[in-house]
Amino acid sequence: MKSKGAQWGRGEDMNQRRFNCLKDVGAKPGQKRYLQMQNLKLVLLFAMLVSIPLAASAQDPNPNFNKELDQESPEQQKKEAEKPDAKASAGDLAKATQNPVASLISVPLQNFTDFNIGPFNRNRNTVLQFQPVVPIQLSENWNLITRTIGALAFQPDITQPRGGTFGFGDINPSFFLSPAQPGKVIWGAGPTFLLPTASDNVLGTGKFSIGPSVVALVQPGKWTLGVLVSNLFSVAGPSDRADVNSFTLQYFINYNLKKGYYLTSAPINSANWNAPSGNVWLVPVGGGIGRIMRLGFQPVNVSVQAYGNAKRPDNFPSPTWQLKFQIAFLYPKRPKG
């Protein structure tokens, strides 16, 4: 069985809601307490990245967990990156989480905040986005990788200095057919859907959408370099809701360091093809740091990332930057025998 990694996006359908409001007219004072809380999150997560493994190492059942990638042959690295087991090292799991067709079930839980939207500099917070990734072996030659994104979010009323809507957004399931024995270029392709499950109109599109999705990557040495592309088209839904024609391109660049640390950049570039000229693209730039560690006996992937939006719509409100936190629970297969 093979699966995709924890780097696959932060919710493509969430990005498109950045085009559904009024023009952002610039920064204004306020919300200092909220920003201080976000900074506190950053400090706490950084402390967790450094300190938790010290406590967990005392009960680490795998003496090879901290084995470095450069202590393994290229053949060993490739094997563990494709089929990590419960004895895999942190370096092996780091490459596996970045590999869309690794035999690894992962359950990422994410929190991210989009800052400075609209004339009152409102912040949109995705309180909890869950994104389980499950591989299914169809045959000796083919695997199916399933990924489903759902989120609980707060959408501010950007025309007012306070107030907004909290609830559940649309669900975005994707299915990738992938070779069971990939070559140097690892790939998967299949359909992606957007289900109109939002608890309020402002939290979703109101449309049932479908489209293609393709992922491809390579993993030379300590690097993972890849791209994920998809486009959603609405095919059903209320006539009074806007049609969906949204494109996303996520490139991901990861470099694995020692002791399970890695550097990452995985921004999602999004386009609303139905928007007027000058309001189509949102292009973030940035990155972050993460670590593969154990919480007791449970392998996890913890990361923090920040992205500034280099290109934003001219007339539609959009955030100036985003802060993202993630913890992904990893479930490598048990070794035979």
Residues 241-289: tens digit of each pLDDT = 999 999 999 999 999 999 899 999 999 999 999 999 999 999 999 999 9
Tokens representing 16? Answer: 């498109």
- Counting as low any pLDDT under 50, the low residues of the chain are 1-14, 16-31, 34-35, 46, 48-60, 71, 73, 337
What's the whole-model pTM score? 0.78
- Structure confidence at residue 86 (pLDDT): 57
- Structure confidence at residue 60 (pLDDT): 46
